[in-house]
Each structure stands twice: as C-alpha cells, then as structure tokens.
Amino acid sequence: MGFRGSLADLYLANLHLRTASRVLLRLGSFYADTFSDLGRRAKRIPWESYLKPARPVALRVTCHKSRLFHSDAVTQRVLESIGSRLGQVLPIIKSSREEKGDPPQLIVLRLVENRCTISLDSSGALLYKRGYRLATAKAPLRETLAAGVLMASGWDAQSPLIDPFCGAGTIPIEGALMARRIPPGRQRHFAFMDWPNFDAAEWERLKALSQERSKKSCPVIRGSDRDAGAIRAARENAERAGVAEGILFSIRSLSDLEAPPGRGWVVTNPPHGVRLKGNRDLRSLYIRLGRILRAKCPGWHAAILCGSDSLLDLTGIAFEGRFSFRSGGLRMSLARGRILPSKGV
C-alpha cells in the first residue's frame, strides 16, 4: 500500500508502523525503453538530498516485460547516473541483506513494461527489528507478525491478555507496547537518519510528541511457558522494551494456566512443527489446549496462530474466522473465535 505525505510523515510511518517490513520513498517513475533514456532520467532525481558520497549503496533491480531486461546492465547505468549527479562513484554492496553492521542504503528499481519506478528504502534494517529482542527462545516470532496477530485477533488493548506459550515474550511485549501507545521504532536507527536532508530537530519533536501521547498503565498481560530459559529471555526482552512492569511472566505448564478475573483474550502461537503427520504429542497438546481454555477461560476470545488447520480443529473451539498467509515460506493460519464453557478439563 502507498500514501502521499511529507518527510515528517515518512518519519512517523517508520516510528509508528507495527506490521510493515520497510517504508519506501518513491523517487521517480518514468518510461525508459533504452539505456540512454534510463540514464538521462535517473540522473534527474535529486540524489544529493538522500545519498552521501561515502555511503555504500545496494540496488535491488527487477525487470519484467521490458526491453531493458538485463538487471546487471540496468544497475550499472543507474549507478553511473547517480555518480554523475553526485560527482563521485559510490561504493556498492551486492547483498542488501547483511545482518552485521549498518546495512547499505537500499535502492529499489522496478522495470515493468518499460515503466521504471525508483524507490529508496527509508527504514534500513527491517522494521521487525525493534531493538529489544536480543534474547531468543525456540522458533521466535517476529515482532511485526506478533503485532499483526494481536490486531487481527480483535484485542481492544484494554482487556486482559494471556499467552500460555509465550516463548521469548514477543506477543505480550507487543501487546504492552500497543496498550501503552509506545511507538515500536522509538529505540532504533533508520536509514533516513543518514540522508543529507534529515531534519534531526523535527525527528526529536515527533518522538517527544509520541512520548506525550503514551500511557503509563496497561491492562493485565500475562505470559507463561514451561521453559525456564524462555521466560528468562522474555523478562530480559520486556526490560529492554521498557514494559517489564506491565507484564507478568511465569514458568508454568499449560495445565496450570490461570486467568485473571473478567474476560479477555488468549492470543498465542503454540508449537506446531513442520512435519505433522503421525505426531501424537502435538495432537494431544491441541486437544488439551481446547479443554483447558474451555474450563479456565469461558467466554474469552481466542486467537491461535498455527501452521496446521487440522491441529486447530482439534481444539474444539468454534472459530468464527481464519486468516491464511505465508510467513518464512510456511503456510500459517490465524484462527479466532469465542471460547465456549465446558464442565471440566
């Protein structure tokens, strides 16, 4: 999706968006069916406003149904145009997905039916990297996915929230950040901060305004896991995120689940594995999950993220809807519904 706005709006998008991977700035769109057209029009872009001569860049080029179909040749011509505009050849890094150190400035170029669109990545490291999740557990959930699950669950950010398989605490932490209106990007560095036209004073003003709008309290949020190491990681991550005082983490098995008074939401990502055929342990886990939720959380809302619809069916919960999508190359489903009461576990 796209939007129009000022550079301040771009700053705000990076600061506040909870589910986006990156924010691209559209620099130009033009017709180019020859390399001379491409080079001439790419040179018209005011690169000096966004690139410093010493800053390494990376180009991600895709060509589809265009006369200019060789991505390496397109890359070279655009680099020449940028260098001509800046008066200096820029260092280039082929891989734009480095995990160590600051990533290069990413330029995204798409050629579709001879229409060239050039965009600049304003985010840098992907936005799921909030800066707090340094400690991890098995199969960690990305922060952006956890936030999306909470939003799709229908949680109102005011009612109690429970995650009985919290792992490193991503769902409870993202819930606390949402409830307290704390922007997810407040602790990290963005690519736009290295642009020559970066307005540091405006950035500080926007952060201060966000701080004024944040809340000090949040609803009851609980995360539990039977793995002591996972709970230790969750507490450390919550401390770094600045929400440790608003979340109760505990080491406990599923059968020891405790729900606070009233009604709320159970939002969780139970173990689901990749090879599910004949896995009786997982089947038993989901059957027990449904029984325990019906006994201890009657009337609550439930949202369960899982890679198998057959496992979700074993819970016996009357899900009202399911969202299917792909994450990390795997098909996932988020099922949500109301937990009906039962007589016992």
pLDDT (0 to 100) of residue 345: 46
Helical axes 143-153 vs 170-179, angle rounded to 10°:
60
pLDDT (0 to 100) of residue 138: 76
**Is 326 buried (19+), middle (13-18) or exposed (0-12) by CB count in 10 A?**
exposed
Q: DSSP characters for 267-303?
A: EE-----S--TT-HHHHHHHHHHHHHHHHHSTT-EEE
Q: Is 238 helix (H, G, I), strand (E, B) or coil?
A: helix
pLDDT (0 to 100) of residue 278: 47
The CATH class of the 143-183+215-338 domain is: alpha beta
pLDDT (0 to 100) of residue 53: 86
pLDDT (0 to 100) of residue 102: 64
**Whole-structure pTM value:** 0.93
Which helix (H) or strand (E) is 13 found in, with range?
A: helix 7-16
The CATH class of the 24-121 domain is: alpha beta
Q: Sketch the domain layout of the chain as residue ranges.
A: 24-121, 143-183+215-338
- Measure Cα distances from 35 to 66, 71, 107, 120, 126 in Å: 12, 12, 18, 21, 32
CA gap 261, 47 in Å, rounded: 58
> Quick check: 259 and 201 in contact, CB under 8 A?
no
Of the chain, the end-to-end C-alpha distance in Å amounts to: 45
| pLDDT digit string (tens) for the chain, length 345 residues | 899 999 999 999 999 999 999 999 999 999 999 999 999 999 999 999 999 988 899 999 999 999 999 999 999 999 999 999 999 888 888 654 544 556 799 999 999 999 999 999 999 999 999 999 998 877 789 999 999 999 999 999 999 999 999 999 999 999 999 999 999 999 999 999 999 999 999 999 999 999 999 999 999 999 999 999 999 999 999 999 999 999 999 999 999 999 999 999 999 999 987 544 445 689 999 999 999 999 999 999 999 999 999 999 999 999 999 999 998 888 999 999 999 987 544
What tokens does 270 get?
A: 């139970």
